[in-house]
């Protein structure tokens, strides 16, 4: 039976609960334990799949096809444990399950209430897979006191009460603001936030306090006294240069020791932190810098491309270079020449996206990279744009475009080089879709196999011809155009096993030009950089040495 660690936050949002949870997971692994991390989000969307990236940042996709919160990306990057559908839940999903059961008559005519029906549904979710790992880390989104978070807090209180003593602990993240005028760290907001937790029956075992300044012993004692936690369990979280320093930083501050103490695990197994020491060494000791442009639509919110940014950092670590990312709004190139904006970058990346806005600009960015021989990585929509560019400018299909942008009935503007896929094979099943389907959860989602062409650049990067990568898209490149495009040098180097769906395209006569229909960024880790990001950054590094 797993031990449970519940992670909550107070005072303000964005304190880095996800990062603290992920780093703690990594530290427990370093001591030889198995872990799984979970996120419970209080919002009413059933999942973040239909939310705009401006609202909630990137949608992280799991192997089993769930569209989840981006914190699951942190969890995977720090622990290497592949997240599952059952590691992410929202109030919307919980209520939807409860209402479905009510309609089916499962509650035998009872009055349906938040307690016990909603809280039971949450507790059932928490218990999934509880015999599989040593520690289950469950993060509650939002801050204590939020109205919509209450059922989750009540559920974790009940859950810990139902379990034998010592099976569950509570870790609470807060902020210690610094008043420059008096030169003091203030503990009152932390005290209030802990009171709020206590008022709903939860007594935190560990407090993680974010602070921009060192926490003096005196303040630590005060927090311990007023918040009813041990002094050694008041753990400082200081700002870091890189998130990948978090495991070592939390270890130095005693977080993992505090957690093991709170569970009365003694003696604590010794940690082996060599992986994280190597990771930090690779960020700190670099040999040069590369400048990479990400030409996208959601450039105002960096979290919209969180995993891509991280995967590029990992690629930099593999090559011992610092990767400077600059976000460039694709819409600029709808009307303007990309050259003055993109000249000087060592590589160009066009990420995934939805809708027509900015796509002509992305096509021009792909053309610029192809003709100027600048390393290019196109991801999902970025691959589709590269194919459309090649179809228009190399294969003579002047009106090439995607069906995604032709929504007005009877007004066909584009030759559909990229079309809406209505039927495909997933394992032993055939999945069917139609144009009028719901938007939520109806894309080609999750892990699919691909077969790579022997001798291709893709196969060389992966070191194999059989791969599995995560997908999240509705549209596909039409193989009808394959011969025409290959004749002009755009090689289809990765295909679905049945040969119907192009997965990777590349140009052989180019320093490095690859488009992928899937999302390689979702599987990259600091300690295991994704091969495509590793080689893309290497190509950028080679290019930087030329200019
Ligand atoms: N909009 C495109 C599609 O649905 C690309 C999606 C993506 O980039 N994730 O196929």
Catalytic residues: 380, 519, 521
Grouping H, G, I as helix, E, B as strand and the rest as coil, residue 487 is: helix
Predicted local distance difference test score (pLDDT) of residue 422:
78
Rounded to the nearest 5°, which phi and psi values hold at 513? -140, 105
What's the pLDDT tens digit per position in 381-401?
Answer: 999 999 999 999 999 999 999
Say how many Å lie between the CA of residue 382 and the centre of ligand 1: 9
Residues 263 and 339 grouped into a single domain: no
Q: What is the pLDDT of residues 501-514, one digit of tens each?
A: 999 999 999 999 99
| The pLDDT of residue 283 is above 80 | yes
Residues near 45 by beta carbon (within 8 Å), at least 6 away in sequence: 51, 90, 92
Pocket of ligand 1 (CB under 6 A): 352-354, 380-381, 404, 472-475
Say yes or no: 225 and 248 in one domain: yes
Number of domains in the chain: 2
Angle subtended by helix axes 306-319 and 531-546, to nearest 10: 60
Residues 144 and 33 in one domain: yes
* Burial (Cβ within 10 Å: 0-12, 13-18, ≥19) of residue 401: buried
Joined tokens for residue 173: 């993240």
273 plus 327 within the same structural domain: no
What DSSP string describes 27-58? HHHHTT--EEEEEEE-SSSSSGGGS-HHHH-P
If you take atom 9 of ligand 1, which residue's CA is the nearest one? Answer: 352
Of all atoms in ligand 1, which is nearest to the CA of residue 443? 4
Q: 476 CA distance to ligand 1 centroid (A)?
A: 9
150 within a domain of the structure (yes/no): yes
Cα of 380 vs centre of ligand 1, distance in Å, is 6
Domain that holds residue 149: 3-279
Burial of residue 528 (CB within 10 Å: 0-12, 13-18, 19+) is middle
The model's pTM is 0.93
Look at residues 279, 309, 329 and tell me which one is the last residue of a structural domain: 279
Which one of 59, 61, 352 would you pick to mutate in the ligand 1 pocket, going by the greatest count of ligand atoms within 8 A of its CB?
352
Average pLDDT of 132-137? 98
Q: Which two tokens stand for residue 411?
A: 């007004």
Residue 364 lies in a domain: yes
Confidence of residue 546 (pLDDT cuts 50, 70, 90): low
**Ligand 1 atom nearest residue 354's Cα:** 1
Beta strands (DSSP E) in 206-249 are 206-211, 234-238
Among 301, 334, 355, residue whose Cα is nearest residue 473? 355
Residues across the chain: 547
Question: Once rounded to an integer, what is the mean pLDDT over residues 529-534?
Answer: 98
Q: Do 259 and 298 reside in the same domain of the chain?
A: no
Helix (H), strand (E), coil (C) string for 452-485: ECCCCHHHHHHCCCEEEEEEEECEEECHHHHHHH
Categorize the per-residue pLDDT at 448 as very low, low, confident or very high, splitting at 50, 70 and 90: very high
Q: Which atom of ligand 1 is nearest to the CA of 404?
A: 1
Tell the residue number behind the tokens 């997908």, with chain if given.
Answer: 471
310 located within any domain:
yes
- Kindly state the tokens that stand for 334: 């709808």
Q: How far is the CA of 95 from the centre of ligand 1 (A)?
A: 29
Does residue 41 lie in a domain region?
A: yes
Together in a domain, 275 and 297: no
Residues 488 and 443 in one domain: yes
59-78 pLDDT tens trace: 899 999 999 988 999 999 99
Judge contact between 506 and 458, C-beta under 8 A: yes
Is the domain of 201 the same as that of 334? no
Nearest CA to ligand 1 atom 6: 473
How far is Cα 122 from Cα 156, in angstroms, rounded to an integer? Answer: 8
Q: How far is CA 107 from CA 114, 414, 441, 508, in A?
A: 13, 52, 27, 62
Work out the pLDDT band at 339, boundaries 50, 70, 90.
Answer: very high
CATH number of the domain within which 392 lies: 3.40.50.880
Are 316 and 270 within one domain?
no
- If asked whether residues 401 and 309 sit together in one domain, one would say yes
CATH number at residue 13: 3.40.50.300
Mean pLDDT value of segment 494-506: 95
Q: What is the 3-state secondary structure (H, E, C) of 507-536?
A: ECCCCCEEEECCCHHHHCECCECCHHHHHH
């Amino acid at each position: 039976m797993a031990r449970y660690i519940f992670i909550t936050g107070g005072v303000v949002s964005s304190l880095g609960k996800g990062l603290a949870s992920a780093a703690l997971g990594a530290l427990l692994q370093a001591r030889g334990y198995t872990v799984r991390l979970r996120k419970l989000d209080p919002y009413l969307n059933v999942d973040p799949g239909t939310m705009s990236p401006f609202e909630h940042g990137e949608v992280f996709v799991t192997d089993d096809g769930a569209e989840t919160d981006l914190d699951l990306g942190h969890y995977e990057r720090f622990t290497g444990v592949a997240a599952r559908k059952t590691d992410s839940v929202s109030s919307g999903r919980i209520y939807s399950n409860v209402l479905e059961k009510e309609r089916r008559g499962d509650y035998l005519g009872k009055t349906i209430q938040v307690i016990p029906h909603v809280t039971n549904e949450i507790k059932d979710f928490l218990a999934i897979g509880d015999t599989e790992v040593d520690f289950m880390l469950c993060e509650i989104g939002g801050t204590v006191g939020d109205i919509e978070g209450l059922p989750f807090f009540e559920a974790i209180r009940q859950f810990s009460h139902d379990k034998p003593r010592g099976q569950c602990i509570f870790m609470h993240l807060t902020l210690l603001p610094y008043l420059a005028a008096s030169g003091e760290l203030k503990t009152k907001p932390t005290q209030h936030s802990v009171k709020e937790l206590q008022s709903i029956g939860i007594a935190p075992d560990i407090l993680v306090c974010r602070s921009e300044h060192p926490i003096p012993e005196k303040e630590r004692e005060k927090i311990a006294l007023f918040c009813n936690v041990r002094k050694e369990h008041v753990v400082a979280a200081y700002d870091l240069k890189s998130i990948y320093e978090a495991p070592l930083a939390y270890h130095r501050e005693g977080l993992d020791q505090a957690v093991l103490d709170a569970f009365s695990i003694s003696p604590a197994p010794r940690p082996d932190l060599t992986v994280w020491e190597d990771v930090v060494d690779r960020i700190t000791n670099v040999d040069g810098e590369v400048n990479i442009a990400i030409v996208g639509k959601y450039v105002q919110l960096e979290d919209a491309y969180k995993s891509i940014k991280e995967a590029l950092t990992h690629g930099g670590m593999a090559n011992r270079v610092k990767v400077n990312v600059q976000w460039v709004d694709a819409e600029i190139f709808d009307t303007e020449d990309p050259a003055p904006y993109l000249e000087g970058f060592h590589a160009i990346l066009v990420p995934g996206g939805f809708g027509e806005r900015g796509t002509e600009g992305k096509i021009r960015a792909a053309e610029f990279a192809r003709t100027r021989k600048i390393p290019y990585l196109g991801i999902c929509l970025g691959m589709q744009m590269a194919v459309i560019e090649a179809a228009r400018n190399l294969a003579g299909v002047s009106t090439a475009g995607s069906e995604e942008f032709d929504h007005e009935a009877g007004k066909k503007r584009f030759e559909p080089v990229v079309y809406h896929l209505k039927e495909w094979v997933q394992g032993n099943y055939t999945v069917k879709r139609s144009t009028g389907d719901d938007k939520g959860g109806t894309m080609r989602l999750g892990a699919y196999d691909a077969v790579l062409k022997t001798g291709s650049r893709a196969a060389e990067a992966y070191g194999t011809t059989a791969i599995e990568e995560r997908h999240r898209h509705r549209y596909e490149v039409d193989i009808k155009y394959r011969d025409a495009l290959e004749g002009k040098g755009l090689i289809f180097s990765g295909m679905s096993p049945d040969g119907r769906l192009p997965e990777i395209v590349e140009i052989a006569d180019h320093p490095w030009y690859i488009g992928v229909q899937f999302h390689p960024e979702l599987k990259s880790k600091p300690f295991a950089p994704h091969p495509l990001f590793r080689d893309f950054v290497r190509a950028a590094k080679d290019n930087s040495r030329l200019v």
